[in-house]
A and B are shown apart, each in its own frame.
Chain A
Amino acid sequence: MNERNERIHGVACTFRKVSDVFHAAEKVRDAGWKNWDVHTPFPIHGMDQAMGLPRSPVPRLTLLGGVTGFITGCLLTWYMNSYDYPLIVGGKPYWSVIFPFPVLYECTILFAAFGTFFGQFIFNRLPRHNHPLFDLPHFARVSDDTFMIVLEARDPRFHLDESRNFLQSLGGQEITVIRD
């Protein structure tokens, strides 16, 4: 493919040690980068702060799921046992929040779990199988024992040569340009 027609996704560099990538991430954060990421084989404790990431939004969907689940459980049991086919059992009210409580409880947990599970996928923009990073030959090692910092081209600070030099100054190795 023609060099000029290729769009650049960003530049990447690798680190071998957790402490190195951790301190490098702090420097990228302090330099004011917004569109960048640290790829690691496991979650590094404190990396969210080192990158300056806000709190994950997943709990919002958990709450939404839980509330939906509780209401669904209420509607389900009320509609079935009290509205559509009311049955008198033991002279008790057709519906109360007490007797179907185990059902409401389980529905709350079930829907909250769905909210959490799908929330993780939604906020992570997954599934996505065609990411430019997968074309890097050494990206496969990132799920094993290598750490990678990627500075993305869509960040206003991005300038190919300067970004390369910046990564070099952080101590990154295998500095590579990622093409879209």
Chain B
Amino acid sequence: MAHAHDSSPERPAILDKVRPAELPRSPLILNNRGFHWITDKVCGIVEEETPLWWKIMFGVALFVASFTFLGLGYLVATGTGTWGLRSPVGWGWAIVNFVFWVGIGHAGTLISAILCLLRQKWRTSINRAAEAMTIFAVCCAGLFPLFHVGRVWFGWWLLPLPNQNGIWPQFRSPLEWDVFAVSTYFTVSTLFWYMGMIPDLGTIRDRATTWWRKAFYSVLAMGWRGGNRQWSNFEMAYLLLAGLSTPLVLSVHTIVSFDFAVSNVPGWHTTIFPPYFVAGAIFSGFAMVLTLMLPLRAIYRLHDVINQYHIDNMCKIILATGTMVGYAYATEFFIAAYSGNSFEKFAFVNRAFGQYAWAYWIMVSCNVITPQLFWFKKVRENHSLVWIICLFVNVGMWFERFVITITSLANDYLPSSWGYYSPTIVDIFTFFGTFGFFSVLFLLFVRFLPLLPMAEVKMVAPQADPHAH
């Protein structure tokens, strides 16, 4: 096919004379900013005097994080009965929060890995922060299943080690798959994040004026010299890590969904779960990226490197994945109706019209209806509105996990054992505190590590093209 037009005798002669028009592309860096400007901008964030807003936010974040420690401390001292878990709902907020936080993480890997393989150059200015978000979100997520085991000092039973009776973990359990998936995800994301940061840490090292700063960043930069022989290996390793992270990120939420799908609870036992969970994860993750990046962009005046084009793209991904999630909700109903299984049918009617209908409709309005506003350019250009819509998406995705986890357990096969689940104050404290814990980590990242990947942003600048004139 590719050569068909060359040999075709009917090919008009004019085609050889005209040159194809250059398609206009939105510039990734506005105002023709040079390399030095990018270095100054990003290093400036790390090098400046600690700003007042940072100190205040850090204090608030620490205070909020203390709620998690209070909640978990009380739980460990008293027992998991202090959570709202009782028959028939044995998986309450802890699992909801775990899936919520793991899902948040997915956008980071999507931006850093999948968009890298797809050669989406706009990813460069947001990937570092999104990857940091991934790692910190997985830290928050990991707390919940760890403490959900009840006696947390037996948490090591999850690891492939024999317990005191010589019994090993059972690898037929999806929960054990989850241990491997989430810990691999955390490790590989951290390696990817750190490796990508090495050249930028080298830049901060080279600009350092105080000895402690020089020492700190020298150790982190590993003696990076930016020789092309190093870049060649670095680029190859970066590409390979992107290639490895892509199947990884798809597998992680797939395996998280197996926790549900492999059971035979009505409403959980469905084959649609893996793709549906992955789409939802990317959806919530992008909402979180925008929730974090819009304020940072305003505070640090990053408008030239994170411009409307970037925000547009992220809004469109949220729109696309939100629509996929809505489609999945509809498909679930269709499959339930089509299955001829009365328990499955009941599970879905019960979701929409049963005792948790309020949660179901919050989920649908936040996840399916709100993102549809992103069809309108005016909405995408109104950044306050974008930020608010993203908050709605975050709320909606938390409710999605709540609806899936709680409704199926509260009303399953035996009406005599139905129940109504409510969280306790300990649940609420623990979850509320994780936002503080996440913010503490993220604020430390903003303050001490390069927020934007300088080398990658420079690479997509027009003056980085060796054949440009």
Measured CB to CB, the residues of A under 8 A from B are 17-19, 21-23, 25, 37-48, 50-51, 53, 55-59, 62, 76-77, 80-81, 84-85, 87, 89-90, 92, 99-100, 102-103, 105-107, 109-110, 112-114, 116-117, 119-121, 123-124, 126-131, 133-134, 139-145, 150
* Majority DSSP secondary structure for residues of B touching A: helix
Find residues 196-212 in chain B having any chain A CB closer than 8 Å to their own CB. Answer: 199, 202-203, 205-207
User: In the complex, what residue of chain A is closest to B246 when comparing beta carbons?
Assistant: A109
9 extra A-B contacts, CB within 8 A, seeds A102-B180, A120-B237, A139-B206: A43-B234, A45-B465, A56-B237, A76-B160, A77-B171, A106-B184, A126-B222, A140-B206, A143-B206
Contact between A106 and B464, CB atoms less than 8 A apart: no
Q: Contact between B455 and A41 (Cβ–Cβ < 8 Å)?
A: yes
Interface-located stretch among B34-42, B96-104, B394-402: B34-42
Which B residues from 218 to 246 make CB contacts under 8 A with A? 218, 222-237, 240-241, 244-245
- The residue that A18 contacts in the complex, of B226, B245, B463, with Cβ under 8 A, is B463
What is the minimal beta-carbon distance from B123 to any residue of chain A, in angstroms?
A: 15
Q: List 10 A-B contacts (CB under 8 A).
A: A37-B228, A41-B203, A45-B464, A81-B170, A84-B162, A113-B191, A116-B240, A119-B233, A120-B233, A129-B223
Q: State whether A40 touches B222 (Cβ < 8 A).
A: no
B414 within 8 Å of A (CB atoms)? no
Q: Do A144 and B36 contact each other (CB < 8 Å), given the known contacts A59-B236, A103-B180, A120-B237?
A: yes
Q: A39-B225, A106-B181, A131-B225 are in contact. Are A56 and B251 (CB under 8 A)?
A: no
For residue B381, CB closer than 8 A to chain A, the reply is no
A73 to chain B: closest residue by CB: B180
Question: In the complex the two chains form, is A41's CB within 8 Å of B240's CB?
Answer: no
CB distance from B41 to the nearest CB of A (A): 12
- Residues of chain A contacted by B174 (CB below 8 angstroms): 102
Q: B188, A121: Cβ atoms under 8 Å?
A: no
Interface residues of B in 446-469 (CB under 8 A from A): 454-456, 458-459, 463-469
Residues of chain A within 8 A of B107, CB atoms compared: none
The 8 nearest A-B residue pairs measured at CB: A22-B466, A80-B168, A145-B35, A56-B236, A120-B237, A140-B206, A102-B177, A127-B222
A109 to B182, CA, bound (A): 12
Q: How far is the CB of A25 from chain B (nearest CB, A)?
A: 8
Residue of A whose beta carbon sits closest to that of B248: A109
Q: Which chain B residues lie closer than 8 Å to A59 at the CB level?
A: 236, 240
A38 touches B227 (CB 8 A): yes
Shortest C-beta distance, B224 to chain A (Å), equals 7
